[in-house]
Structure formats: structure tokens, C-alpha cells
Structure 1
Amino acid sequence: MKQWFKNIGPGSLVAAAFIGPGTVTVCTLAGVGFGFALLWAMLLSIIATVILQEMAARLGVISQKGLAQAIRSEIKNPLFKTLAIVLVFSAIVIGNAAYQAGNISGGVLGLETVVGNSNITISGLSINFLSIVIGFMAFVLLYLGNYKILQNVLVSLVVVMSLAFLITAIITKPSITEIVKNAFIPNFPKDSIFTIIALIGTTVVPYNLFLHASLVKQKWHSKSDLKLARKDTLVAVVLGGLVSMCIMVSASSIQTQDINSAADLAKGLEPLFGSFAKYFLAIGLFAAGITSAITAPLAAAFVATGCLGWVTNMQSKKFRAVWMFVLLVGVISASSGIKSIEIIKFAQVANGILLPIIAGFLIWIMNKKTILGMYVNNIKQNIFGCIILGVSILLSLATLSKVFHLNLF
């Protein structure tokens, strides 16, 4: 057991990053609206995430470079390099700042499900006290700039979150046969297309590719460590996917359609399975919120330093300045109740466009012998990568269609 904990790597941080309040909410709505019918979409997302995150981990271990650094060094044309850097920087840094409010608010919802409303009024201004508390907790952990401490805290939170959602799913006593059937047989219920897109989009997260490639070189420094990195990636992503499935299973037991968030799900479970069910889910939602509130600013800082050619040091002033900006935006928005609709809309569009572009960049980089030598993608990895790229392009078009009401689908 001691050796197992010693070999835990940044895969757990990747799992912590994609199981945020957005994932919890999307999985809740999928379960409430369609029962077990969309479990196959989550399984597909898990497979795609494992393939892409393995590439990111391999890049970090073998080249000892982050993805942003690799893109910056390999694009030789000045115009293309500038366009790539601007696109990646704006989408990840500004996008994560916009979504950070949702991460913090998710953690607050989990706590408020148990402790009640946390708003306080100062000079006529209503401020959510718990948002500031969660923001402060994230600040302290990030400011320490110690990868080992950060990893241990996030691993603990992921374990708590996993147990909370797993126990909640078990409490609802689902049919194992139905779960297995719907996980392996695709089904497209009426009006489910955007929910399917959301399930894939909330699991295959663009910024995780940057985060993973940057973090593995904090943990591993030798080519011989690649086997450990791959195992870590597989275990963490599959665990994260199972947690998401547990949320969908739990939500499917609710008979009413009047559920809009995981906090509503927690309250909806109480009359059916007792107050303890509500507490398990609330703890899970809190853990999901705070883990994403830590990893989103961290990813933004890695991307910014890689894009701008700064030294990637978690304790440097420039690195800290980036994550402080992202965290501050999130805390202010979440604590004051400000909904930056236009910024969030921009982040949605940017990330929708970004996924196929980053997947394309990653596959391109993973075929560069100048960076990876004999560890470049093989034919099978390229085939799977191109299939995922094609799906991500469709996802991108669907995202644009939804945001701008283009009726492309």
C-alpha cells in the first residue's frame, strides 16, 4: 500500500480537474433526464481521455517539456506561432478565469446543502462568505508552490469525492444489468444530443492536456518512468469516469424533472434515502468544487509560462501572478454573485474551438522525432488520435451551433 501511494502521480490531479461542479451538474442532468441511457457516452469519453492524456504524459516524461512549450518551440513560422500562442493563452487563461467562479460556487453549494445560506451583508452589499473561505484555501495551497503537498491534498480530496459519490450510487440500489447494458450499447433518446455533447466536452478537457504534460515532469524525470506515468494516467482517468457514472446513476433514481444542479439532487435524495444520502452528495460536490478551484488556476499558470517563454517554476512571481489573477476573478464573481455572461460565453466558444485545435497540435507534436525520438506515436495511437480529433471537430461545431443558434445539428 505504501508503494502504491508512492507511485501516485499527476493523473489524480487530472481526475480532480475534470470532475468539477460542471461535470457533476452535467452528469446529474443526464441521469435525471435520461436515466442510464447515456452511460455509453461517458464510457466513450473515458476512452478518449485516456488516449489523449497518455500522449500528454508521454510528452512530459520523455521531453521534459509542457505542451505549450512544445508548441512554441516547434512552430517555426512567426505568424502561425503568434496566432497559436494568442489562441491558447486567451482560451485557457481567460477561459479558466471565467469558469473559476463556477468551480468555487460548486464547492459553496456542497457546503450550503449542509450548513445553509452563507451570505452576509456589508454596507448593503451581499457577499457569500464561503466563497472567500474556499478561495483562501486554494490560495494557500497554490502559494506554497510545493508539488508534493498539492498532490497529497488533491489525492485525498479525490478519494473523499469518489467514496461520497460511490456510496450515494450504492444507496440508490441500481440494476447492475441495466448499467452494463447502457454502458456498452449506444442509445440516442429524443433531445439528448446536447447532453451527449456536454458529457464528452466536460470529460475531455483541453486544459488538462497542458496541465498533465507540465505536472508529470515535476514527478518523473527518466524515460524508464514512462510505464509508471501510463499506469497512473489509466487508473486516475478510469476512476474519474466511474465517479461521473456514479453521479448519473444516483440522479436516475430521482423521479422528478425539477432538478437543475447537484445541490438539487442532494435535496431530492433526502426524502427517498434519508438525510445521510444528502450529506454524502454534498461532501462530494464540495470536494469537486475545491479540487477544480485549485487545478484551473494551476493549469492557466502552466499555459501562460509555456506560451510566453517564462521559466516554469511554481514559486516564481510570474507563475504566481497568473494563478492569482484566475483565482481572484473566480472569488470576486462567486462571492458577489456577478455572472460574467459575456466572458463565460467567450470561454465556451474558445474552449469549443480549442479542443480540436489542441488535439491536433498534440497529435502533431507526438509525431515529432526531434522531441520524442523513438517514443513518437505508433500507427494505432495515431488512428485512435485522429478518430478523437474528428469527434472533437463535431463537438466544436455543435458548441458553436448551440451558442450562436446556427442550427448546424
Structure 2
Amino acid sequence: MIKNGFKNIGPGPLVAAAFIGPGTVTVCTIAGVTHGFTLLWAMLLSIVATAVLQEMSARLGIVSQKGLSEVIRTEISNPFFKALSIILILSAIVIGNAAYEAGNISGGVLGLESLAGNASGSSSLWSLVIGFVAFVLLFIGNYKVLEKALIILVILMSLAFLITAILTKPDLVLVFKGLFTPDFSNNTILTVIALVGTTVVPYNLFLHASLVKEKWKDTSDLKHARKDTIIAVVLGGIVSMCIIISAAAIKDGQVSNAADLARGLEPLFGNYAKYFLSIGLFAAGITSAITAPLAAAYVATGCLGWSSNMKSLNFRLVWMLILGLGVLFSSIGFKSIEIIKFAQIANGLLLPLIAGFLLWIMNKTSILGIYKNSAIQNIFGVLIFGIALFLGAKSILKVFGML
């Protein structure tokens, strides 16, 4: 029974690994320190939205046996809109992931340095170590090896953050109140946008559709994919909530990232809390450092009509470029603010575009046949599209300093 359960674990944990990176850890930390438990409802909303969209993406991948970027390239017939969509997707995912990769690696380094008491040597050395581990796992080009490695890291990360939250002994009444009582006050809206935006990630939709066809080849596997997706997204959401809960225990306004949180927890809850949190941050960094280049490779190969075989030269060249830039920027401490701003604008435009496109494609009988969206799935999809449109507009206004 347990063996069969593990056998049917698919790309879900990889999706969870992808959206719980150092950026998510930092956003959740700030949310907890600044607003306590009051924004847990935003994370609950994010979990529902992510589960709905990722299930659609997984269903598309299994039924069509194509990645999302491949479907976009073949289904949009208008040359102008096709070119515009491909340019926007490549800009947001490939360039964006190159910018974010430095943050992923730096997050893993922060976790290692916190564990070693900041006396572990230079950050650039740890950046190279994390980059090397990611390189080896990606170069092997074996989906099963990658899946097992990331599942172990996700379990490690989940346990680390869960234990940290338990150690802070939160008030469960306030936790449940925060989960089910939405707070739309002006001083919380930007943090809500950040929480939803860091969970409902455009590149995960591409990654998921591409990975499920590596794992499953038949529509009879849809039930396994659905269960795998829901369990992984819920688990990922619980991890994010645990970070918020842990951060809520700190009343120091100086806490602005997970490394500060690790130091802040130490005097209150002892070394154990600090070590568990540092392990979680390291696992979050290294898993995202692996999935970001992988997603970029699937997107680029799908958009440009190249082979998406993990061992093909073009596929490897794309992820090597992303990983190499990440290690370089992380090692020299380069703050690629303008590149990240550009990626945020592109992602702000991309999320509603991809959510809308996904909704359109999931209703096409010519692609999905009897597996197209039901009325309930479409209702949820339209609501999420509206949220994506709102978030996209807000994130672009924020980048231009108009919010």
C-alpha cells in the first residue's frame, strides 16, 4: 500500500519545490512579522488557485502529451499574437528565471551559513557547491533520479518548517481565525498580492505540463496526477503557512528575511528552532535552484520547437545558461535589480495571459476530448483569471512606483 503510494508520487513535489523558494520564504516571513496570523487566509486562497490551475496544466500534459509552450506555439494561428506570446513567455520565464536563480542559490547559501554560524567560509564557495549539486542532478537527465532527489529535499524542507512552527507554540484559535477571516485593509493589500503572486507562479504551469508526460503516458493516470497535484500543493501551502506562523512569534521589526528570522528565533526558542529553519531555507534554495533552470529549458525548447528530451544538447544548453548566470550573480553578490524588475513586469503580464490561455485551451474538444473542463472547473478558472488580472495589474503598477 505504502509502496504503491510512493510509486504514484509524480511531479507534484517538484511543483511544490518550485514555488517554495527563498522569495516565498522571505515574503511569508515579512507577512508573519508584520501582520501576525491575519494573512493566513491569503495563503489559503493561493493554495486553492494554485491547485485548480496546476490540475488543468497536468491534465493538458497527460492528454495531449505536449508541454504548455508547445501547445501555445501550435494552437495560436495569428502570426502576430503567436510571436508576441512567445516573446513574452521567453522574456518572463527564461530571462526571469536567470534573474531569480541568483536569489535561489543565495537563499540556499544563507541556510548553510546560518547552520554554520556564519563562520563557514565565503558565500561564493557555497554558491559553487549548490550550483554543482544542481548541475549534477540536471545533467544526469533522468527524470526518476531528479524526482527522488527533490522529493527527499521537499520532505526535509516541510519537516524543518513544520517543526519550527510547532516550537513557537502558536495560539491555534488565532491561527484558525487568520485562516478563515479575510483582511482587506489598505496596509495589507501589497503583502496579500505578494503572497498570492509568489505561490501562483506562471513557470510552474509550464513545468508541470512538461513533467507529467515524463511520468504518465495514459489518460487512466489522470486520477494519480490529480491526487499528486492536490497533495503537493496543499503540502506546499502548509509549509508557507508554517513560515508565517513561525515569523509571527517574532516581534522585532528588523526581521526582513529568513536569515534574520533564524537569528530572531534563537534567543526565544533555542538553537533547535534556528537549525530547523536554516535546514528549511537551504532545502528551499536548492530545490528552486534545480527547478528554475529546468522550467526555463522546457519553456525555451517548447517555444522554439526544439526537442524537450532532458539529454538533448539544446535543452542542456538552456538550463546550463540559467544555472551558470545564477551561480555567477550569487557569487559576486550582483544585485540584478533592473533584470528582476523586468521579469516582474513580464510575469505580471504573463500570469493573466497564461491563465486565460489555459482556460481557453482546457475547453477545446479537439485537444482534450472528454477530458475538457467541466462547468465547475470553468467557474473556478474564471474567478482565478480575474484574480490573476488584478494581481498582474497591481504588480506592474508596483514596479513603476504607482502603487
Residue 223 in structure 1 maps to residue 219 in structure 2: yes
- What amino acid maps onto 1:84 in structure 2? S
The CA deviation at 1:26 is 0.3
Q: What SS does the aligned partner of 2:259 have? A: helix
Name the residue aligned to 2:53.
Answer: 52
Alignment of 1:92-103 (within 5 A): 92-103=93-104
Name the residue aligned to 1:173.
Answer: 169
Name the residue aligned to 1:299.
Answer: 295
Alignment of 1:7-406 (within 5 A): 7-115=8-116, 116-118=118-120, 120=122, 128-406=124-402
- What amino acid maps onto 2:33 in structure 1? V
CA distance in 1, matches of 2:363, 2:186: 40
Tell me the TM-score normalised to structure 2 length: 0.98
Tell me the TM-score normalised to structure 1 length: 0.97
CA distance in 1, matches of 2:81, 2:35: 43
Contact in 2 for aligned 1:164/1:281 (Cα 8 Å): yes
The CA deviation at 1:326 is 0.4
- What amino acid maps onto 2:374 in structure 1? N
Contact in 2 for aligned 1:37/1:189 (Cα 8 Å): no
CA distance in 2, matches of 1:138, 1:189: 41
CA distance in 1, matches of 2:70, 2:217: 17
The CA deviation at 1:119 is 5.3
The CA deviation at 1:379 is 1.3
CA distance in 1, matches of 2:240, 2:115: 22
CA distance in 2, matches of 1:23, 1:270: 21
CA distance in 2, matches of 1:174, 1:406: 37
CA distance in 2, matches of 1:117, 1:75: 54
The CA deviation at 1:370 is 1.2
- Structure 1 residues 231-259: Cα deviation after superposition (integer angstroms, max 9, x where no partner): 00000000000000000000000011110
CA distance in 1, matches of 2:207, 2:37: 31
CA RMSD across the alignment: 0.9
Q: Greater CA deviation, 190-199 or 137-146?
A: 190-199
CA distance in 1, matches of 2:282, 2:329: 18
CA distance in 1, matches of 2:366, 2:127: 46
Q: Greater CA deviation, 149-158 or 342-351?
A: 342-351
Contact in 2 for aligned 1:34/1:189 (Cα 8 Å): no
Count of residues in Structure 1 that have an aligned counterpart in Structure 2: 401
- What amino acid maps onto 1:78 in structure 2? P
The CA deviation at 1:144 is 0.3
Q: Which runs of 5+ in 2 are unaligned?
A: none
- What amino acid maps onto 2:241 in structure 1? M
Contact in 2 for aligned 1:118/1:129 (Cα 8 Å): no
- What amino acid maps onto 2:101 in structure 1? Q
The CA deviation at 1:189 is 4.4
Task: List structure 1 runs of 4+ shifted beyond 3 angstroms.
Answer: 117-120
CA distance in 1, matches of 2:327, 2:52: 34
